[in-house]
Structure 1
Amino acid sequence: MEVDRPDGSRGPWHDALLPKQLWREATALRNACYIFVGALSMMRDSEVREITKGSVVEHFSTPAVKSTKAKLDAGLPVKHWWIIEPVTRAIELAERLSQHPELAFASVPGRDPETLFSSKDVIQDFVDHVNRHRNTTGLDEIPSQHITPHMFRRTMAMLTRDFPGSEIAVGMQLKHAITRALANRTTGGYMEPASSWARHLDNAVAERKFQRVKELFAADSRGETIGFGPGADRMREAFAAVREKAADLRATGKAQRGDIRVEHDLLRRTRFSVRFGKLNHCTMNDDPIGAKCLEEAVVPEGHRGPLLDRCQPSRCANSIIGPEHLPIWTAERTSLNRLRADPKLPTNRRVLLDTQLGEVNLMLKKAGQ
């Protein structure tokens, strides 16, 4: 594989993979897996080190890893950590590299299976390895600084503490870590042994979504506010068209007067689509025009609809902020203002908070807040 190098040249990522060089690269790969798992799982260093082979499981139908909780607990209970799919791959790769009969993170091929390592040394060795060979590999330089395993968990804990409304924090800070649990359920290999499960699931989801659409239709018919923004305007227009069509059917005797099922049947046949969310709703149909989430995005083959993990609710014409969303966004604005009031706040942190506050204010402006 060829890479672009810092000096502007292009060439292979490694000069030669003789046994010694291969061992070094395998060690660096093991170290990268350890850092990645520690950074994105919020597991303690001891818990990462105690992960055994075959520990990736499903816990309440969600990918998780089993590990031993050793700190301040003499009973050494097993704890489940929910993880994202990239962390799953990192653990599985570490297992394949590990020469230890049980541990996932241990010595790599070329060393004794019982040889262990220091967690601090792993991090520093990885930084040194990347920086030493970046002229060949083309990787970006990693700033030289003191890094410990605890700092990864501390960083994630600070994000959780400093960003009330964790869904907003995830959307703004960790988009690359968001996965959808059902993203691959329609692939042939997955559906083949149990295609009926996917059909039943789709039917159940569709019925629940339609029930919510009927609730919005009823609220709009009563003159209540159902949402704010251009997407909400289109929704109201669609609902008005349904009521007008139903009135025409009744006026011509083609529908029974007083039967709400006329409107509901028309709602089922309308092409208007709503994807409900906890922070906003999306009114995008299959037409990608105007969808901010699809701008400059690599759309997976066969994917239809929005890329929800790239949602920009404050800037997209398809976004609806409903009355139920307002308390969340209002609380987020209050929290951000409180954080900004700290006179000791670093400049770069203040800039980040200002950016996020601007997005929240844009969202609330749609609702006249």
Structure 2
Amino acid sequence: MKSVKRKLDPDRPTAHWWIIAPVAQAIETAMRLSMSDTLAFAAVTPRFHGSGFTSQTAIRCFIKHVNRHRRITGLAEIPPSKVTPHMFRRTMAMLTRDYPGSEIAVGMQLKHAATRALANRWTQGYMDHDPSWARLLTTAIAERRFQRLRDLFDADSRGEATGFGPGADQMRSAFAAVREKAEALRASGKAPRGDIRVEHGLLKRTHLSIRFGKLNHCTLDENNPAGAKCLEGAIVPPGHRGPLIDRCQPARCGNSIIAPEHLPIWQAEYASLTKLRSLPALPANRRALIDQQIRDVESAITKAGET
């Protein structure tokens, strides 16, 4: 997608963004609703007659809605005060950064848009003024993925814990096969002894599908997707290959790896949910949902051998 920012600094060059399908759909909707002939996101001022959308009006309606239904949702009342769209954006960014529950929510619901390059290339963090830069992106991501995979291989070779769950078992089996093949090459004199580059070369040629994420790693094989929870009962878009990231169920899927670096997030989420579960005025439907979330988190932590 190409975009031009006109507000305040109209001389900035055209920017190019890699976006996901839901974002493209949202932009198309904004274009249809826009009162401008040239801008998808145009201001709606009092000069326009009739009803129109303004962010300030939407925020006031949202606050009224939350306060009106808080007996059902269990949310605290939002007190009267000045609230701006910028405050909403900043607050959400801060919650996502600092609050463990939001970290889990972002990972499960928006993983396809929120994760880094290690998971996929469609993320809001990548833009450049030169469209030709896109040709370098795939190579850079592939190299970074292999670097992470190589680090896991080296750690596994040293006997360190690299992950837990069925997906981790598959990964360790693949690593063992690489080491066995390397030893066979050395025994036959076809490879130098004591050179780890033999294993790394074999690892690079091995078909080992792994997608790195903040909450888990995914080992789904596109040619054999059996057991993938994200594909169960799902309508797969035509031409799509691989997992449906937004339907990921890390605690339940046989392709999931819960790595040591993931555990602090899951443990923080468990503490956050159990604290929320203890609130006395929690509605029954909200309590039932939290109970299910706690069971999923407990399952993920149990797979890692933690209590």
Question: TM (normalized to structure 2)?
Answer: 0.70
Q: Any residues of structure 2 matched to 1:14-25 within 5 Å, and which? A: none
Aligned partner of 1:213 in structure 2 is 149
Q: CA-atom RMSD, angstroms? A: 4.4
Aligned partner of 2:276 in structure 1 is 339
Alignment deviations for residues 266-297 of structure 1 (CA, whole Å, 9 cap, x no partner) = 10111111111111000112122111111222
1:104 Cα deviation (Å)? 3.8
Aligned partner of 2:299 in structure 1 is 362
The one-letter amino acid paired with 2:203 is L
Return 5+ residue gaps in structure 2 as ranges: 1-6, 59-67, 71-77, 124-129
Match of 2:163 among 227, 242, 250: 227
The one-letter amino acid paired with 2:244 is L
Check the 8 A contact 2:101/2:272 in 1, yes or no. no
Check the 8 A contact 1:94/1:104 in 2, yes or no. no
Corresponding position: 1:298 with 2:232:
no
Counterpart-to-counterpart distance in 2, 1:102 and 1:359? 41
Counterpart-to-counterpart distance in 1, 2:194 and 2:303? 36
CA 157–357 in structure 1, closer or farther in 2 if over 3 Å, else same: farther
Check the 8 A contact 1:279/1:321 in 2, yes or no. yes
Match of 1:92 among 21, 31, 40: 31
Aligned partner of 1:317 in structure 2 is 254
Q: Pick which of 160-169 and 263-272 moved more.
A: 160-169
Aligned partner of 1:258 in structure 2 is 194
Counterpart-to-counterpart distance in 2, 1:224 and 1:342? 40
Counterpart-to-counterpart distance in 2, 1:312 and 1:278? 13
CA 179–267 in structure 1, closer or farther in 2 if over 3 Å, else same: same
CA 201–175 in structure 1, closer or farther in 2 if over 3 Å, else same: closer
Q: Any residues of structure 2 matched to 1:128-207 within 5 Å, and which? A: 160=95, 164-172=100-108, 174=109, 178=113, 182-183=121-122, 197-207=133-143
1:356 Cα deviation (Å)? 1.2
Counterpart-to-counterpart distance in 2, 1:102 and 1:298? 30
Q: Percent identity?
A: 52
Counterpart-to-counterpart distance in 1, 2:242 and 2:279? 41
1:118 Cα deviation (Å)? 7.5
The one-letter amino acid paired with 1:218 is D
Aligned partner of 2:127 in structure 1 is none
Aligned partner of 1:280 in structure 2 is 216
CA 317–177 in structure 1, closer or farther in 2 if over 3 Å, else same: closer
Aligned partner of 1:38 in structure 2 is none
1:298 Cα deviation (Å)? 2.5
The one-letter amino acid paired with 1:114 is F
CA 364–91 in structure 1, closer or farther in 2 if over 3 Å, else same: same
Q: Which has the higher contact order (CA 8 A, sep 6+)?
A: 2
Q: Give the secondary-structure state (helix, strand or coil) at the position aligned to 1:324.
A: helix
Aligned partner of 1:115 in structure 2 is 49
Aligned residues: 263
1:265 Cα deviation (Å)? 1.0
The one-letter amino acid paired with 1:320 is I
Check the 8 A contact 1:106/1:115 in 2, yes or no. no
Check the 8 A contact 2:161/2:260 in 1, yes or no. yes
Q: Give the secondary-structure state (helix, strand or coil) at the position aligned to 2:261.
A: coil
Counterpart-to-counterpart distance in 2, 1:317 and 1:237? 15
Aligned partner of 1:142 in structure 2 is none
Counterpart-to-counterpart distance in 2, 1:103 and 1:276? 34
Q: Which has the larger radius of gyration?
A: 1
Q: Give the secondary-structure state (helix, strand or coil) at the position aligned to 1:325.
A: helix
Aligned partner of 1:270 in structure 2 is 206
1:303 Cα deviation (Å)? 2.2
Corresponding position: 1:308 with 2:242:
no
CA 158–250 in structure 1, closer or farther in 2 if over 3 Å, else same: closer
Aligned partner of 1:27 in structure 2 is none
CA 256–158 in structure 1, closer or farther in 2 if over 3 Å, else same: closer
1:88 Cα deviation (Å)? 2.5
Check the 8 A contact 1:230/1:320 in 2, yes or no. yes
